[in-house]
């Protein structure tokens, strides 16, 4: 049978032919194809620029990426980076929120809660004023070096030269079972829906089942998305025991592919939580895409609560088309839960507001969001609004940045670097 997703290849890999092919792909497969602007694709310098010119509001994600880097990310769970993530403070500064294992940032002694003073010889204020965020970290290639200066409360400034390298994404870096009033509560931080995630997810949930866990805290505060198949697995692990055979999510395509609309069912897995009573999600504005799919898909099947902040708002997904040395990733479908709910472009609102407590490590019961989630489980109520912590990281304007990159407004704009690749494939 003819493959409805086969749109052929460009006539050649010359820029003009790539641009014309992208224009045709968008006309045939794009979710908002009827609203596409009329452009001359020959006027653009690249296939990515052509797709960017064709994006229709509220699309912020359609892009053309590097095929090799995209494969590394999704298939091998690897990214090029310096190995640290930052959050904006209320005073405009940056604080380190995450340091990756095996990275030069970790080797340099950087820790969660450190304040960034300079990057590439420029202060944060200078980078903002001169709009240097697109180039202050250099190109996304292994071996690129970046000089940084950071401080820790009560200590002298530290300087280091960090090196970009291929890093393994820690998909489940933290997991634990807590005893709350005699009940076993499972907690896991889940960082990315890539192809290396299923095995550690299964292992963690099988441990939860052995411990008798029936309530789970899923920490998605830094998770920007990934494979829809992994999202489906996480839903199955959370509710498969009670919702086997019911709708997991529905996929609704644009007019060019609407005959491919489909629904996926929930499946009971060996690690599915037995008779789950409640799921609590921890979120920030960097919680996007597949993460939001999981929250939305679980909601019809088991009581949920959300601690943190409103999510980034990406209720749509993409197929990917490989051509030349690139991958086209236009938005092609909407995602709906078993109740037909979707289109949360303004994000999914948190039930209990809580900031990212950078004074404590993720997984520490004293850390603000986890402590709040545990309080919610034990009492059924949100905590009163917390006092603003040092560095202003509870401020509503606080914003996440991708590992080893500058701050980004939420939802994040599309970039050419591998960190910009997020969505469903």
The mean-pLDDT minimum among 114-118, 190-194, 323-327, 417-421 falls in 417-421
Question: How far, in Å, CA of 74 to CA of 168, rounded?
Answer: 11
Q: Per-residue pLDDT averaged across 14-18, rounded?
A: 97
- pLDDT of 103 > 80? The answer is yes
pLDDT of residue 1: 53
Q: Per-residue pLDDT averaged across 252-269, rounded?
A: 95
Burial of 366-387, coded b for 16+ CB within 10 Å and e otherwise, reads ebbbbbbbbbbbeeeebbeeee
pLDDT of residue 396: 29
Question: How far, in Å, CA of 317 to CA of 343, rounded?
Answer: 11
Confidence of residue 262 (pLDDT cuts 50, 70, 90): very high
- pLDDT of 412 > 70? The answer is no
Secondary structure, 3-state, 279-331? EEEEECCCCCCHHHHHHHHHCCCCCEEEEECCCCCCCEEECCEEECCEEEECE
CA dihedral sign of residues 215, 221, 222, 227:
positive
pLDDT of residue 264: 96
Q: Per-residue pLDDT averaged across 37-66, rounded?
A: 96
pLDDT of residue 386: 53
Q: What angle do CA 204, 95, 76 make, to 5 degrees?
A: 40
Segment of 66-70, 294-298, 383-387 carrying the highest mean pLDDT: 294-298
Q: What percent of the chain has pLDDT over 70?
A: 90
198-210 and 228-243 helices cross at what angle (nearest 10)? 20
The mean-pLDDT minimum among 238-252, 372-386, 402-416 falls in 402-416
Q: Mind listing the pLDDT tens digit for each residue in 202-212? A: 999 999 999 99
Higher-pLDDT residue of 409 and 271 is 271
Confidence of residue 408 (pLDDT cuts 50, 70, 90): very low
Tell me how far apart the terminal alpha carbons of the chain are, to the nearest angstrom. 22
Q: Per-residue pLDDT averaged across 238-258, rounded?
A: 96
Higher-pLDDT residue of 359 and 405 is 359
- pLDDT of 267 > 50? The answer is yes
- pLDDT of 238 > 70? The answer is yes
- pLDDT of 120 > 50? The answer is yes
Q: Which distant-in-sequence residues (6+ apart) come within 8 Å of 324 by Cβ?
A: 10, 13, 18, 67
pLDDT of residue 391: 39
Domains detected in the chain = 82-167 (2.30.42.10), 174-420 (3.90.226.10)
Q: Mind listing the pLDDT tens digit for each residue in 280-321? A: 999 999 999 999 999 999 999 999 999 999 999 999 999 999
pLDDT of residue 407: 32
Higher-pLDDT residue of 188 and 405 is 188
pLDDT of residue 387: 56
Confidence of residue 384 (pLDDT cuts 50, 70, 90): confident
Question: How far, in Å, CA of 65 to CA of 421, rounded?
Answer: 7
């Amino acid at each position: 049978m003819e493959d409805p997703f086969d749109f052929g290849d460009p006539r050649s890999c010359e820029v003009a032919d790539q641009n014309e092919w992208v224009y045709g792909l968008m006309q045939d497969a794009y979710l908002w194809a009827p609203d596409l602007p009329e452009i001359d694709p020959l006027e653009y310098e690249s296939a990515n620029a052509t797709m960017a010119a064709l994006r229709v509001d509220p699309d912020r994600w359609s892009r053309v990426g590097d095929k090799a880097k995209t494969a590394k990310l999704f298939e091998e769970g690897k990214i090029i980076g310096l190995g640290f993530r930052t959050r904006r403070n209320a005073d405009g500064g940056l604080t380190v929120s995450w340091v990756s294992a095996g990275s030069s940032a970790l080797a340099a002694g950087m820790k969660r809660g450190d304040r960034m003073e300079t990057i590439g010889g420029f202060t944060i204020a200078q980078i903002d004023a001169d709009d240097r965020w697109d180039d202050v970290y250099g190109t996304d290639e292994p071996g690129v070096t970046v000089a940084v200066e950071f401080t820790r409360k009560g200590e002298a400034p530290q300087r280091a030269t960090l090196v970009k390298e291929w890093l393994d994404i820690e998909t489940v870096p933290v997991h634990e079972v807590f005893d709350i009033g005699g009940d076993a509560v499972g907690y896991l931080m889940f960082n990315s829906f890539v192809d290396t995630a299923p095995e550690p997810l299964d292992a963690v949930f099988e441990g939860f089942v052995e411990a008798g866990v029936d309530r789970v805290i899923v920490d998605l505060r830094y998770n920007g998305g990934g494979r829809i198949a992994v999202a489906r697995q996480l839903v199955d692990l959370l509710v498969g025991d009670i919702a086997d055979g019911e709708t997991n999510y529905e996929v609704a395509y644009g007019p060019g592919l609407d005959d491919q609309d489909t629904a996926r069912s929930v499946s009971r897995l060996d690690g599915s939580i037995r008779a789950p009573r409640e799921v609590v999600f921890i979120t920030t504005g960097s919680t996007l895409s597949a993460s939001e799919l999981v929250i939305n898909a679980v909601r019809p099947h088991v009581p949920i609560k959300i601690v943190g902040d409103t999510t980034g708002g990406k209720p749509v997904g993409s197929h990917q088309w490989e051509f030349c040395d690139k991958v086209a990733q236009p938005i092609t479908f909407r995602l709906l839960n078993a109740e037909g709910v979707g289109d949360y472009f303004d994000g999914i609102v948190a039930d209990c507001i809580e900031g990212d407590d950078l004074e404590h490590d993720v997984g520490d019961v004293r850390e603000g969001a986890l402590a709040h989630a545990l309080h919610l489980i034990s009492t059924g109520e949100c905590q009163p609004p917390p006092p603003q912590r040092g560095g202003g990281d509870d401020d509503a304007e606080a914003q996440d940045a991708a590992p080893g990159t500058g701050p980004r407004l939420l939802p994040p704009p599309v970039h050419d670097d591998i960190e910009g690749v997020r969505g469903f494939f």
